[in-house]
Amino acid sequence: MSAIQNSLMPFFAAHAPFDRFERTHLQWLMERLALNYYARGEVLAEPAQGQAQRFFIIKQGCVKGGRHHDDQAVFELHEGETFPLGALLAGRAVTSTYRAAEDVFCFELGAADFRELLEMSPVFKDFCTRRIAALFDQSNLAMQAQLAQSATEQQSLSSPLSGILRRAPVTCTPETPLREVLTTMRELHVGSMIAVDAANRPVGIFTLHDLLGRVVLSGVSTDRPIAEVMSRDPVSLPPEALAYEAAMVMARAGFRHVLVTEADGTLRGILSERDLFALQRVGLRQLSGALRQAESIEVLVALSKDIRALTRNMMAQGVAADQLTLFLSTLNDLLAERVIELESLAAGLDQGPLQGQVCWLVMGSGGRFEQTLNTDQDNALLFNVPEGLTAEAVRAQLLPVALRVNHALARCGFPLCKGEIMASNPQWCLSMQEWRQVFDRWIDRGSPDALMHASIFFDFRALAGERKLAEELRNWLAKLARGNVRFLHQMAANALRNRPPLGMVRDFVLNDAKRLDLKINGLTPFVDAARIFSLASGTTQTSTLQRLRQGAVALKVPGTDVEAWIKAFLFIQMLRLRHHYEEIARLGEAAGDQLDNLIDPAHLNELDRRILKEAFRQARKVQSKLALDYQL
């Protein structure tokens, strides 16, 4: 038995979750396994067998699963994969027919032993009850280790703020004289003072940065109370908020500090940029500040390279895919906003009748806060028509500025859109009334072009200018689309034309270049489904993750299904980001124009291949939800 077990060790060491088993638990398992053979076409498990009695581990070969009423195969299982977890956990029959697609050898464990192992091994229980999440977690850890060998001691941006606070905050009353405040700050070597009320709730903050502008240059006497020079109503976050949320607040608003307050408003602590990034060496606020203060397009071109360098640095630190794309989208927003500001100032749009009447829109991955290192331009213009002007007259003023903005963004590393979905295209520089007419026409007609445009433009959000215009258009669209079942049916049918690349013969269906397109075939099924869920439920979010969560709640999709979809989406996104990271590491900064989303699955390790298959299966499941909802 010992010799047999030793011979099997390499197999189990290569497959999750057995590679993380304690040795005694693995030995216990191997002592109770039976090895069985199934010829091609033979059934291993089917609904007619009644309650599931065996746990299968595929040692060799391929097993196909399909609907029991017509035996149509819908998924494949290969070496190291297991089934039927759901049936064994629930004590019911399987819902699919599992059939050998070729000669198959399987390790089998009886249901009673399966349940005993479940209680014996925490690793096995976690895998069985959180199978998809556990696999993704394991791969993400391995991926992070690969990218972050030099950053193992750095603090994670996923840490709660309560775990980052280092010491009690220094406080005073609003009536405390400035002289006393400054003396205390010097003695305690702190850069800020928080003014609190009698209940220890913060009412203001004073920092050394405020000293020069608000006190010294303004000639304010140090005998005056701090209340006269402090920043009132400082931004605060709860202790359970994550570090990356604090970083986003600092980046967006240009703050150096964020307060941490309890649910009742009382002060818990204060975080500075140094607290968040001293260990990570990430100058996020410095970069965001430089973007805001850039005085020329040339400076922004240089800063765009810093954004990409910072993104690669954060990848190496193990920042999660959703956080990473949010950071990158936010910094790209700041860059684009400054480009727009500079070009608008040069054209005099900051004055005159158009002031406060124009909103720049961003669509596509930018509109969803899901930009990566390979992002082109998808933007447009929305405006109100001031009294005395026409839409054509406004367009004539805006289009030359938009053209300069588009070319400036191209210099900053955002290629011009090949489909000309840009603000400089008169077709996408429209008044509020014109946009409503366009959207109404797309929804009413549902032609192929209309569906294609809707999949891009309906992800719009405000980028710069009068943001209320975008909010008004979004709320109008949400009401219009929700009430048009025919249009949603057409959107769903169009989305289902792009199927995940899972093969019926082997693992994956590859394109002509023998590659998988992670964006089109991997991410797009989730993005399209989330958009339809959002339109159907009337939610106004543009992020795929938010759309899945909020739309699914409104449509009564089980939370476990939604979280499995999200895990799958994030895994594919991180695989795509890693691919970009490796290409840049190999080719250098010049790789920017050559980045693609194509990978060869043969170059993935066994765990990532297995999880990618599972991620594509989740894409099939989210599409099955669409097909069921719209009877497709």
Which pLDDT band holds residue 589 (cuts at 50, 70, 90)?
low
Report the CATH architecture of 2-129.
Sandwich (2.60)
Whether 78 shows a pLDDT value over 60: the answer reads: yes
Residue 445 confidence (pLDDT): 86
Neighbouring CB atoms inside 10 A of 27's CB total 15
Q: Is pLDDT larger for residue 319 or for residue 356?
A: 356
pLDDT-based confidence at 210, cuts 50/70/90?
confident
254 vs 28, higher pLDDT: 28
Number of H helices, E strands in the chain: 23, 21
442-454 per-position pLDDT tens digit: 999 889 999 999 9
Average pLDDT over residues 65-89: 75
C-beta atoms surrounding 391 within 10 Å: 16
DSSP symbol at 177: B
**pLDDT tens string 141-199:** 665 555 554 343 344 566 788 877 766 789 999 999 999 999 999 888 788 899 999 99
Task: Give yes or no for residue 356 having a pLDDT over 80.
Answer: yes
Q: Write the single-letter amino acid at 359.
A: C
- Name the residue with higher pLDDT: 273 or 136: 273
pLDDT at position 335, please?
A: 95
Asked if residues 285 and 184 have their Cβ atoms less than 8 Å apart, the reply is no
Q: Is the backbone of residue 232 left (phi > 0), alpha (psi -120 to 50) or beta?
A: beta
Mean of the pLDDT values across residues 409-414? 92
Residue 66 belongs to what H/E stretch? strand 63-67
191-215 average pLDDT score: 90
- The pLDDT tens digits of the residues spanning 284-309 come to 667 888 898 888 999 899 888 888 87
- Domain residue extents for the chain: 2-129, 161-277, 284-443+455-473
pLDDT of residue 153: 35
Which pLDDT band holds residue 623 (cuts at 50, 70, 90)? very high
Residue 457, amino acid: F
* For range 71-97, the mean pLDDT: 81
Confidence band for 283, pLDDT divided at 50, 70 and 90: low
For 220, counting Cβ atoms within 10 Å of its Cβ (0-12 exposed, 13-18 middle, 19+ buried), the class is middle
pLDDT category, 395, cuts 50, 70, 90? very high
Q: What is the pLDDT of residues 487-526, one digit of tens each?
A: 999 999 999 999 888 864 456 888 878 899 999 999 999 9
Q: Please state, for a pLDDT cut of 70, what percent of the chain lies above it.
A: 89
Specify the pLDDT at position 141.
60
**Rounded Cα gap, residues 179 and 176, in angstroms:** 8
pLDDT of residue 136: 64
Three-state secondary structure call for residue 556: coil
Residue 433 CB contacts under 8 Å (≥ 6 apart), including other chains: 385, 391
Q: Which of the pair, 117 or 167, is modelled with greater confidence?
A: 117
Average pLDDT over residues 459-481: 95
Query: SS3 letters for 318-335?
Result: CCCHHHHHHHHHHHHHHH
Other Cβ atoms closer than 10 A to 169: 20
Q: Which of 152-166, 497-511, 533-547, 580-594 has the lowest mean pLDDT?
A: 152-166
Cα–Cα distance measured from residue 302 to residue 480, given in angstroms and rounded to the nearest whole number? 43
Q: Do 381 and 360 contact (CB within 8 A), yes or no?
A: yes
How many CB atoms are located within 10 Å of the residue 569 CB?
27
Q: Which is more confident, 130 or 523?
A: 523
Could you tell me the pLDDT band of residue 52, with boundaries at 50, 70 and 90?
A: very high
CB 381 within 8 A of CB 397: no
- Rounded to an integer, what distance in angstroms lies between the CA atom of residue 88 and that of residue 52? 6
- If one compares 349 and 155, the residue with the highest pLDDT of the two is 349
Rounded to two decimals, the pTM is 0.67
pLDDT at 547 over 60: yes
- CATH superfamily, domain 161-277, is CBS-domain (3.10.580.10)
Query: How many CB atoms lie under 10 A from the CB of residue 131?
Result: 18
Q: How far is Cα 506 from Cα 90, in angstroms, rounded to an integer?
A: 30
Predicted confidence band at 437 (pLDDT cuts at 50, 70, 90)?
very high
**239-278: per-residue pLDDT in tens?**
999 888 888 888 777 788 899 999 999 999 998 877 776 4
493 and 608 in contact (C-beta within 8 Å)? no
Residue where the block lists tokens 């067998």: 49
Rounded to an integer, the average pLDDT of 590-598 is: 74
**Mean pLDDT, all residues of the chain:** 86
Task: Please report which helix (H) or strand (E) contains residue 97, including its range.
Answer: strand 96-100
Phi, psi of 508, rounded to the nearest 5 degrees: -130, 155
Residue 551, CA distances (Å) to 113, 442, 482, 529, 530 in order: 40, 22, 12, 10, 7
pLDDT in the model for residue 74? 61
Question: Exposed, middle or buried: residue 134 (CB in 10 Å: 0-12, 13-18, 19+)?
Answer: buried
Q: If you average pLDDT over residues 551-573, what whole number do you get?
A: 88
Q: What is the pLDDT, as a whole number, of residue 374?
A: 80
- CATH number of the domain at 284-443+455-473, please? 3.30.460.10
What was the pLDDT predicted at 158? 65
- Whether the predicted pLDDT of 602 surpasses 80: yes
Q: Is residue 418 packed enough to be buried (19+ CB in 10 Å), middle (13-18) or exposed (0-12)?
A: exposed
Return phi, psi of residue 445, to 5°.
Answer: -90, -45
For 202-310, list the strands marked E by DSSP: 202-207, 231-232, 236-237, 257-261, 267-272
- pLDDT of 594 reads 72
Contact between residue 484 and residue 443 where contact means Cβ atoms under 8 Å apart: yes
AA letter at 579: H
Q: Which residues contact 571 (CB under 8 A, 6 or more apart)?
A: 136, 139, 140, 321, 611, 612, 615
Task: Return the higher-pLDDT residue of 349 and 269.
Answer: 269
